[in-house]
A and B are shown apart, each in its own frame.
Chain A
């Protein structure tokens, strides 16, 4: 087992186990914190896939932004004092069957398919940041700008929705 493989399995196990805790834990707080490890594991996988910029972005946005946001959500929407953080599940049995079948199908497909691998032309030691930056300013300029507008709208919209309920109260 090479070091690369060891690192891969390490991160894969972290990701999947913590994701399992996220999904199956009864306690919302546990889920939220375990999600942190999931994101961390996914970040490691990104690094293994030569995506250093994405990895850093993942860390910043998911862990620093979205996760904190979700934690806020958990704290604000649950009566912390009553310790009513446990939540139930719905339709577990049919869901398990269907999801298991989907997982099986996906894994099977991924495994059976004879992927046509084109050897990576990328230099693993070279940072992708410059290349990505150039792409955003050339090929993906329009989507990039649209994304900025979307973020702005989401920002305003979120502020609007969250503020409105206070005036309603």
Chain B
């Protein structure tokens, strides 16, 4: 079978699932963030694949650029928060940070 849209979409779907799994299961907040990055990447692959095969020309790529921009912003803020949490709780394990629950 010739490599086409479906191939890219399936790669993206698997990448998405892996990211999701990381987000759900990992205790380390930084690994959760990595999972988020994987999800964003898979979304980007979808955007660009549809840009090529869906006749959207460059609009899909423009959306991908915005995703990258927001990913950068998200990573910066999220890591700052993680560092702050680490200072306060001396851990980055999300299941132990439960001051709000009490």
Contacts and interface: CB of A to CB of B under 8 A. Distances in A.
Q: How large is the interface on B (under 10, 10 to 19, 20 to 34, 35 or more residues)?
A: 35 or more
B interface secondary structure, majority: helix
Q: How large is the interface on A (under 10, 10 to 19, 20 to 34, 35 or more residues)?
A: 35 or more
Contacts of B18: 16, 19-20, 22-23
A interface secondary structure, majority: helix
Contacts of A61: 68, 71-72
A95 B93 contact: no
Given A20-B18, A49-B48, A87-B31, A122 B57 contact: yes
Nearest to A124: B52
Nearest to A108: B13
Interface string A4-48: 110011001001100110110000100110010011001001100
B20 A102 contact: yes
A66 B5 contact: no
Instruction: Please give me the 6 A-B residue pairs with the lowest Cβ-Cβ distance, nearest first.
Output: A118-B55, A154-B73, A103-B17, A106-B13, A87-B28, A158-B80
